[in-house]
Amino acid sequence: MVSRNHVDTFQWMKRLQQILSKKGITGLSEPCIFYFRMHRRHLLGGIFVIWIFFALSVHTVAKTKSKLFVNFLDGSELPQYEKWQQITKDEDKILPHEHEDCVILKPPYALTRISPVLVPLFPSLSSDDVIRSLIEAVTGLLTSRRSYRDDVVAIKTHYPYHTKHVSINHFKANELSPPKAIILIRDPLETMEVWHNWILNTINNLDINNPTTLQSWRSWRDNHFEQEINQWALFYKYWLENIPLESRILLSYEQILDEKNGPLETFRIAHFLKKVGKISITSSSDAISCIWYKVTNHFNQKVESEIARPYTYQQLDHVAVKITELLDSYALEAAAKHALINYRKNVMGKIYQMKRIDPVLVTNKHGSCIVSTPIHEKVTPIYQASYLGSGSEMLRELIEAITGIKTGDTLKSRKKGVVAIKTNYPTNKKDTKLNFWNQDMTRALLLVRNPLSAMSSLFNHINEHNKGLVPHSSQAPVHEWEAWRDENFKKELNLWAEHLKYWLSSFRGNNLHIISYEAMTNELHGPVEATSLSEFLGEYGTNVDIHTAPVATVPCLWFRVAKVLDKSTMVDSQQGENLYQSNKHRPRYTNMQLEKASTFLNELHTRYADKPNIGPILRYYWKDSISLIV
């Protein structure tokens, strides 16, 4: 006998059948509850199929996860590294360098306990192994991955991306000496592409160098890209914040593979391991170039994909913001700044190609502002004059950020359309000067810097250029600086003054804007100087008005560009305090040179004391030179 509830259900289902049949839907000839009672085998069969599907899914997920992370959890090596280790067994397989030869033997474990250097890097196949192989080649000892051990020269780690890898906490927990680190950074877009390629090919048991399809890239990108980029930024923040500057070096993967800079970067690795890591270097300095060639020649055999890896506008914008955040935080480290600027240019270039516009919203402690890649635009430019070593590149970037228009460094750049032309005339007689051909350029921006600091900066530029080093990456040896200083002090001091007098006499009143390097890089005065610069640029416009950034956003743009590179503090002169203090490197001068400089600057200050745009600045420099005399 059927219960009352079942009868009600039957009547309800019959009513539903009638309604559906009027709409042309048939097939519910019996209520489902009775159907499955009559055909229990169908119900049991459905449950069995669902159970089998669930079991297979769990097995597939577990197997995929195991395949994906096996290299990270069991300590096994990646294929390219294993291949390199096999090659080192047989020297005949390694071709000698075209100019010299070197011997690279298969490295052993250390016979005594050593304190290994950490090698943190975000996961991306090739960069994982090239840095380890370079370290092994210059030290003659093995490296390892993931786990701590004291018989290797270095340990590669992906912590905190992979939490089971060795971290700083391991050193603290085991009361080991503070860790030293060689941090390797790589273009985030290329990192994501390589990482995606490795993940999918590993899952599918394919050659790791095999380019994946465009469809698979888009699917992975949309599901994981933002999360991975956030992890990329957090990874480098962790290591840069937790390893002191004196205990680390930062290298870029691109510089290591570069034919010009690669040997120099390898020399930096060897120098760091020897000086900071207290590790013996078996390779001579003369062999470094050969070692670099042999190692990178193996790892640089990259399979280029014919498939362009596309990104959405929002994804590129997100990457640009993350890079800018790192720039704002770590611009004091020259290698990090140089690499990050290049990475951001790459991202901004892709944005511009996609939209022909490239706003990127950036937020920092000075507010929010729009960052854009400067373009060429036909305007009548202004002179951007400075003595060599006064920070003209930083000022150019600030002008471009405020106006959105490119600056140039020669008169020929006018043809492309620039807002300002950098010139060191008359210090450099070949630079742009006032003449008949550019008489329409009626305004000038004069950047000045304490001559004692500017001369030191100039020599650093000369030293880096002569040695093929990355600009703004190193401080010249003291003995080399002192030799150059003693030979050129009087000449450069006169050139500095000649440059100042030339531009002060060539432009007057509202046609000349003066900005000091010290104020431009000062945390308190920098935003004010940038705002004043923006007003000067915005007032100008002979052919086309220059539309500068909104005034409220200028401090944010200044912070992005200057990034408080100089911690100097200028105090109001009426307070009678030292007007120039700096935590940056202060170049050494003899007392005789300082006395000459103070006399020289006092004469200039007396001459221009009544000019409010330059008189106070010269007074700062004069008092600073006096304060250094001992």
Does residue 262 lie in a domain region?
yes
The model's confidence at residue 4, banded by pLDDT at 50, 70 and 90, is very low
DSSP for residue 388? T
Separation between Cα atoms, residue 272 and residue 328, nearest integer Å: 26
Sign of the C-alpha dihedral, residues 99, 100, 105, 107?
Answer: negative
pLDDT one-digit tens code per residue, 102-154: 777 778 888 888 889 999 999 875 566 788 889 988 888 889 888 888 899 99
Give 203-231 as a DSSP string.
HTT--TTSPPPHHHHHHHHHHHHHHHHHH
Is a pLDDT exceeding 70 seen at residue 99? no
Query: Does the residue 123 lie in any domain?
Result: yes
Give me the residue label for tokens 């092994």.
136
State which of 526, 541, 572 marks the end of a domain: 572
pLDDT at 40: 55
Same structural domain, 264 and 401: no
Burial class, 601, CB count within 10 angstroms (exposed 0-12 / middle 13-18 / buried 19+) = buried
- Does residue 174 or residue 239 have the better pLDDT? 239
Neighbours of 145 (CB within 10 A): 23
Q: How would you write 231-275 as a 3-class SS string?
A: HHHHHHHHHHHHCCHHHEEEEEHHHHHCCCCHHHHHHHHHHHHHH
Q: Who has greater pLDDT, 28 or 134?
A: 134
**Residue 600 one-letter amino acid:** F
- Judgement on whether residues 38 and 93 belong to the same structural domain of the protein: no
Please check whether residue 471 is in contact with residue 464, taking contact to mean a CB–CB distance below 8 angstroms: yes
pLDDT at residue number 618 = 95
Q: Residue 39's pLDDT is what?
A: 53
- Structural domain contains residue 315: no
What would the mean pLDDT of 436-464 be, rounded to a whole number?
Answer: 91
> Which of these three, 541, 556, 572, is where a domain ends?
572
d(CA 255, CA 376): 29
Q: Is residue 383 domain-shared with residue 515, that is, in the same domain?
A: yes
388 shares its domain with 468: yes
State yes or no: pLDDT of 527 exceeds 90: yes
312, part of any domain: no
Query: What's the pLDDT score for residue 36?
Result: 47
Is 337 a residue whose pLDDT tops 60?
yes
Can you give the residue range of the structural domain that contains 385?
Answer: 368-572
- Distance of alpha carbon 272 from alpha carbon 278, whole angstroms: 9
Give me the mean pLDDT over the 540-564 stretch. 74
Residue 237 has which token pair?
Answer: 């923040």
Taking 60 as the threshold, does the pLDDT of residue 383 lie above it?
yes
DSSP bridge pairs for 312:
none
Other C-beta atoms within 10 Å of 522: how many? 22
Q: 26: pLDDT confidence band, cut at 50, 70 and 90?
A: very low
Q: How confident is the model at residue 620 (pLDDT cuts 50, 70, 90)?
A: very high
Q: How many CB atoms lie within 10 A of CB 17?
A: 17
Position 531 pLDDT exceeds 90 = yes
Q: Is 512 helix (H, G, I), strand (E, B) or coil?
A: strand
The average pLDDT across 446-457 equals 95
Indicate the SS3 state at residue 367: strand
Q: What per-residue confidence (pLDDT) applies to 621?
A: 95
pLDDT at 440 over 60: yes
Is the model's pLDDT at 246 over the cut of 80? Answer: yes
Q: What Cα–Cα distance (Å) separates residue 28 from each residue in 12, 104, 192?
A: 13, 78, 52
Question: Smallest Cα–Cα separation from 262: which of 130, 91, 145?
Answer: 130
- Asked, as a colleague might, if the bond just before 107 is cis with ω within 30 of 0, I would say no
247 in Cβ contact with 180 (< 8 Å): yes
Non-local CB neighbours of 550 within 8 Å, separated by 6+ positions: none
> Which pTM value belongs to this model?
0.54
Mean pLDDT is lowest, of 270-284, 505-519, 520-534, for 270-284
CA–CA separation, 24 and 287 (whole Å): 85
Domain shared by 29 and 145, yes or no? no
**Which among 523, 551, 572 is the end of a domain?**
572
Contacts 24+ apart (CB under 8 A), 93-97: 94/294, 95/294, 95/297, 96/290, 97/289, 97/290, 97/293, 97/294
Look at residue 156 and give its three-state secondary structure: strand
So what's the pLDDT on residue 177? 85
Long-range contacts at 151-155 (CB < 8 A, ≥ 24 apart): 151/109, 151/110, 151/111, 151/113, 151/114, 152/109, 152/110, 152/114, 152/116, 153/110, 153/114, 153/116, 153/117, 153/273, 153/279, 154/116, 154/117, 154/118, 154/119, 154/182, 155/116, 155/117, 155/118, 155/119
Separation CA 408–CA 419 (nearest Å)? 8
Structural domain contains residue 592: no
Position 541 scores a pLDDT of 45
Residue 95 lies in a domain: yes
Q: How many CB atoms lie within 10 A of CB 567?
A: 13
Question: Are residues 17 and 93 both part of a single domain?
Answer: no
pLDDT band of residue 44 (cuts 50, 70, 90) is low
- 301 and 248 in a common domain: yes
Q: DSSP 3-state helix, strand, coil percentages of the chain (rounded to 5)?
A: 55, 10, 35
H/E stretch holding 516 reads strand 512-516
Residue holding tokens 């970037």? 397
Residue 241 is encoded by which pair of tokens? 């914040």
Does residue 449 form part of some domain? yes
pLDDT on residue 55: 60
How far from 553 is each of 154, 271, 321, 372, 528, CA to CA, in Å? 45, 43, 16, 13, 12
Range with lowest mean pLDDT among 238-247, 272-281, 285-294, 346-355: 346-355
Q: How many domains does the chain have?
A: 3
Q: Same domain, yes or no, for 43 and 113?
A: no
For residues 163 and 233, membership in a common domain is answered with: yes
Say which residue the tokens 């786990």 belong to.
Answer: 147
Write down the pLDDT at residue 18.
57
Q: Are 568 and 580 in contact (CB under 8 A)?
A: yes
Phi-psi label, residue 173: left if phi above 0, alpha if psi -120 to 50, beta otherwise: alpha
276 and 131 co-located in one domain: yes
Query: Average pLDDT of the chain?
Result: 78
- Is 281 found in the same domain as 148? yes
The pairing of beta strand 360-364 with beta strand 367-371: antiparallel
Rounded average pLDDT over 273-280: 82
- Within this chain, do residues 49 and 192 fall inside the same structural domain, yes or no? no
Nearest Cα to 316, choosing from 200, 221, 223, 216? 221
| Structure confidence by residue, pLDDT tens digits, 191-210 | 888 888 888 877 777 766 67
| Angle of CA points 573, 575, 576, to nearest 5° | 70
Q: Does some domain include residue 622?
A: no
Q: For a pLDDT cut of 90, what percent of the chain falls above it?
A: 31
Tokens 């935590």 sit on residue = 583
CATH number at residue 402: 3.40.50.300
SS3 state of residue 453: helix
CATH number at residue 118: 3.40.50
Question: How sure is the predictor about 351, in pLDDT bands with cuts at 50, 70 and 90?
Answer: confident
Predicted pLDDT at 581: 39
Radius of gyration of the chain (CA): 32
